[in-house]
Structure 1
Amino acid sequence: MQIDKSYFTLPEILERWQITEADLIYLAENDKLRLSVRVFGVPMEFGDIEEDERGEPYKVPWEQSYHSGLLDLHARDVFQLFRCGEVHLESFRAPKADYATTWGDAKPVLVMIGDLLLRRDERDRFEIETGFSPGGQPMEEATFIHSADYLEVRCNGCRFKLGPIQAEVVRALHEAAQAGVPWQNGKAILSRAGSKSLRMADVFKSQKDWRHLIRSDRRGGYRLNLD
């Protein structure tokens, strides 16, 4: 049985990509790959960083809570971690905040190498941007991969950053292809995706290479261009 995970251990990633630990460390230290750690009940403050009239940055906190979940590490802390074996951290990255720090009387979080994880969406982002595939080999041109939310996909050598409605269309066409019925009525797909326009060309006009992603039968039917 295959478990649908939201994060992975580093040994799982090394096996998937067939790279050395030294290569993975290089990617993380140079901020090409963002590693994470799981915490439980840590007092954390999340917020944004804005500038005052003089251009000086200041923090605008919008949440203080006892956080359980993943926190992302700064590249500088990954560098120290792999050299010292452990680090005590007060500052982290967070996907939806400009900063994330411990607050109150909270002690710094002890992070050891074995604690490191990689978010699923970070794994998907890296594979899409680099064309890297499971097994460590560059993807063949016809390979289709996507992020969990379908906002980023790669197909036929082209990388696409999609809007929400575009992503829902691609998701629906991909699910149809997996179900063995790749050709779908375009208007029905667009309607279910919440599009005001029922013309595929209008919805994807911001994607100049969209026909490398979606194929038309010129009779109102559409499918992903997977072969």
Structure 2
Amino acid sequence: MARMFSRKPYYMLAEVCDRWSLSMADITAYALEGELVVSIAVGGLPFAVSDIDHEDNGRPFHVPCGKRWHVGTIDLHRIEAFAVLEGREAAVGRFLSPTGELLEPLGEKDEHAHILVKQDILVVRHAELERFEAAHAKLPPLEHAVRSPTAPERRRGRGAPVKYDWEGALSEVIVIVNDEGVPPTQEEMMDKVRDWFARTVGQDNVPCDTSIRNRVSRFWNRIKPDVGRPSALRSIHDLPTARPPEKKRRAGP
């Protein structure tokens, strides 16, 4: 008797519809609202990779991190997912990695390109399937939701997720400056931020150098060592503890 496996890395939409008793129109609605992320599997394609960062007002911007060949699943933004699900196919020029990086397909000469995505190759990653099921297990019954006097707050789509704990990294910078003083160079400060991410989330999840430099440069000019300028960050133990000796007065004639 063949052994049955209940877990797979990803599932075709037909499997998902059967598992959840949903129609393709239902899947389309969830994808458009950003409540379900659909993906495609690629066997090794070149992409321009960018981290997605945010300005102080919350507006996202891209930090280019170079080129990479990707093997595995990549996610569709909800707008492109809707286009594929509604039209059965669409040319897509941007994707997201499972960790939230922006992936833009490249052609033979590294020019920006598109991938023709057909509806029948769309999949749902196992982690996304579990997340979706857990989220809906916590929802109230449909009748209660319909009768609710106020509509629930619309959830933010997954188009620009917050990938890195920059607040935690900044806290580490404060500790470093307090305990060790300001590193002599910006590169050394970047190394310390890089090491903190490696210890905290693993070497494979460290931001690219461009992202780290972008963050460090925001405060480096304000704290970098400046010869001849007293530092307010210097430890109190470095300050003189005794008054300098007074000059001796010359004896009178």
Which TM-score band (shorter chain)?
0.5 to 0.7
Is the contact made by 1:42 and 1:106 (CA closer than 8 Å) also made in structure 2?
no
1:97 partner SS: coil
2:70 partner SS: strand
Given the alignment, which residue of 8, 13, 17 partners 2:16?
13
1:61 partner SS: strand
Within 2, Cα distance between the matches of 1:54 and 1:26?
A: 29
Task: Give the aligned length.
Answer: 134
Provide the residue aligned with 1:46 in structure 2.
49
What does residue range 126-141 of structure 1 map to in structure 2 within 5 Å? 126-131=132-137
Provide the residue aligned with 2:183 in structure 1.
none
Structure 1: tracts of 5 or more residues without a match = 139-227
Please give the root-mean-square deviation of Cα atoms over the aligned residues, in Å: 2.7
CA gap of 1:51–1:114, structure 2 versus 1, over 3 A, is closer
Q: Which has a greater percent of helix?
A: 2
- CA deviations 1:118-164 (Å, max 9, x no partner) are 000000001111108xxxx99xxxxxxxxxxxxxxxxxxxxxxxxxx
Within 1, Cα distance between the matches of 2:36 and 2:56?
A: 34
Structure 2: tracts of 5 or more residues without a match = 143-253
Within 2, Cα distance between the matches of 1:55 and 1:129?
A: 25
Within 1, Cα distance between the matches of 2:89 and 2:30?
A: 19
Q: Cα distance, 1:83 vs. partner?
A: 2.6
1:121 and 2:127 matched:
yes
Q: Cα distance, 1:106 vs. partner?
A: 5.6
> TM-score, normalization: structure 2?
0.47
CA gap of 1:80–1:98, structure 2 versus 1, over 3 A, is same
Within 1, Cα distance between the matches of 2:130 and 2:55?
A: 37
Is the contact made by 1:71 and 1:94 (CA closer than 8 Å) also made in structure 2?
yes
Within 2, Cα distance between the matches of 1:55 and 1:11?
A: 37
Provide the residue aligned with 1:27 in structure 2.
30
1:72 and 2:78 matched:
no
Could you tell which deviates more after superposition, 60-69 or 28-37?
60-69
Structure with higher RCO (Cα < 8 A, 6+ apart): 2
CA gap of 1:83–1:65, structure 2 versus 1, over 3 A, is same
2:95 partner SS: strand
1:87 and 2:90 matched:
yes
> TM-score, normalization: structure 1?
0.52
Q: Cα distance, 1:54 vs. partner?
A: 10
Q: Cα distance, 1:22 vs. partner?
A: 1.3
1:107 partner SS: coil
2:34 partner SS: coil
Q: Give 1:27's aligned amino acid.
A: Y
Within 1, Cα distance between the matches of 2:58 and 2:128?
A: 32
Q: Give 1:10's aligned amino acid.
A: L
Is the contact made by 1:43 and 1:106 (CA closer than 8 Å) also made in structure 2?
no
Is the contact made by 2:104 and 2:113 (CA closer than 8 Å) also made in structure 1?
no
Q: Larger Cα Rg: Structure 1 or Structure 2?
A: 2
Q: List structure 1 runs of 4+ shifted beyond 4 angstroms.
A: 51-58
Within 2, Cα distance between the matches of 1:89 and 1:78?
A: 9
Q: Cα distance, 1:23 vs. partner?
A: 1.1
Is the contact made by 2:73 and 2:98 (CA closer than 8 Å) also made in structure 1?
no
Within 2, Cα distance between the matches of 1:95 and 1:7?
A: 12
Within 2, Cα distance between the matches of 1:81 and 1:55?
A: 29
Q: Cα distance, 1:60 vs. partner?
A: 2.1
